[in-house]
Amino acid sequence: MDHSDNTVWRGTTILSLRKGSQVVVAGDGQVSMGQTVVKSNARKLRRLAGGSVIAGFAGATADAITLFERLEGKLEQYAGQLTRACVELAKDWRTDRYLRRLEAMMAVADKSVSLILSGTGDVLEPEDGIIGIGSGGGYALAAARALIGIDGIDAEEVARRAMMIAAGICIYTNDKITLEKLEY
């Protein structure tokens, strides 16, 4: 993706983390085109597999919707086995002529695993259960790692605070946070 082109749609922040008996995926709402905010309340998260999987995307919207649909199909094919479905999607994403042109990353989580998926065939499970993707992902990830050990705040509060920190640093991230969580 050429970020010097002002017509490129950019930016997003997706954060996923686990604390206690919760897994949370949060996303900001900003869609930017060049130096213009086109939309401030976009929804970049989707529940899949009857609500048992939460997925967030960073990248081109149409590409992400295609990937959500493909992942939903893989989850049906592999009876809700998130890791297996993600590995199979990553194989297709990397080898299919159409899919390999898609520009997006995904953070997905269910009650037992959190994964990062990319078009290069990566299916990664972070050892600490915290994922940050998109232009503000590194900021949200760092903030979540700093906040996660604080007693008295749950996963949702850690995610909200970390996303607000990212929104204060990354110009392609705003404070219109969407959050989904699963209890386990």
Tokens encoding 29: 């709402």
- Tell me the C-alpha to C-alpha distance, in Å, between residue 94 and each of 118, 121, 133, 171: 9, 5, 19, 30
Phi, psi of 72 (to 5 degrees): -55, -45
72/110 Cα distance (integer angstroms) = 13
From the list 7, 12, 36, 120, the catalytic residue is 12
Instruction: Tell me, yes or no, if 13 is annotated catalytic.
Output: no
Q: Choose among 157, 115, 132: nearest CA to 22.
A: 157
- Tell me the C-alpha to C-alpha distance, in Å, between residue 142 and each of 39, 66, 86, 93, 150: 26, 30, 25, 29, 14
Phi, psi of 103 (to 5 degrees): -110, 95
Active site residues: 12
